[in-house]
Chain A
Amino acid sequence: DVKVTQSSRYLVKRTGEKVFLECVQDMDHENMFWYRQDPGLGLRLIYFSYDVKMKEKGDIPEGYSVSREKKERFSLILESASTNQTSMYLCASTPGSPGNTIYFGEGSWLTVV
């Protein structure tokens, strides 16, 4: 079974703190994604990566950055957390060809106070 692991499930951070959300997948997938999910808005794509050291902005990249130094790991960074970044963050991965099923991690619930 494909496993996408988000190491931090529940975090509470203060405004202005730097926050790292880590994601690891164990199936050698080329593509990895970070989404955030908010009530009534569905899943919105923050960033994605189709190869090591490659990254592309999604629909809502402002206030976020990412890092992909190794194929299996994709990190989401909030340089200076703000209260409007309180959300549920989902990491996902998929093999290289378009149209493949996407596999999700269990989610990271971030509260910024």
Chain B
Amino acid sequence: QKEVEQNSGPLSVPEGAIASLNCTYSDRGSQSFFWYRQYSGKSPELIMFIYSNGDKEDGRFTAQLNKASQYVSLLIRDSQPSDSATYLCAVNVDYKLSFGAGTTVTVRA
């Protein structure tokens, strides 16, 4: 089993809709959780991090963490064409950060 798994996508949503991205992880010792956005040909950039169970909101982005279910998600509200990118879930155990394969999102104008 891979350490971090994401819904495979690609995900296509109309402009203004909500995009929902899911991620599960295998190590119960995982301490912190990150969502990165990566545009084609660029390096990943941090969108959000979350450490505690529940929801965390930052502008149009909401991260949700459920440690009992080993599940973390990202919601993008009012999706814009500029949100079209690959989204990477990352999980931190000790000093190591493990990444999922990513979900590619396309926002249709």
Contacts and interface: CB of A to CB of B under 8 A. Distances in A.
Interface residues of B, number: 23
A42 B34 contact: no
14 contacts: A31-B95, A35-B99, A42-B99, A42-B101, A43-B44, A44-B99, A45-B97, A90-B44, A94-B97, A98-B31, A98-B92, A99-B32, A102-B34, A107-B42
Interface residues of A, number: 24
Contacts of A101: 34, 46, 49
B97 A102 contact: yes
B46 A98 contact: no
Contacts of B62: none
B95 A41 contact: no
B100 A42 contact: yes
A55 B21 CA distance: 34
Given A50-B95, A98-B32, A99-B32, A105 B43 contact: yes
A101 to B, nearest CB: 6
A31 to B, nearest CB: 6
A34 interface: no
A106 interface: yes
Interface in A69-111: 90, 92, 94, 98-99, 101-102, 104-107
A58 B96 contact: yes
Contact of A90 (B34, B43, B96): B43
A42 B96 contact: no
A81 B55 CA distance: 45
B96 A106 contact: no
B88 interface: yes
B105 interface: no
A96 B108 CA distance: 41
A104 B43 CA distance: 7
B9 to A, nearest CB: 11
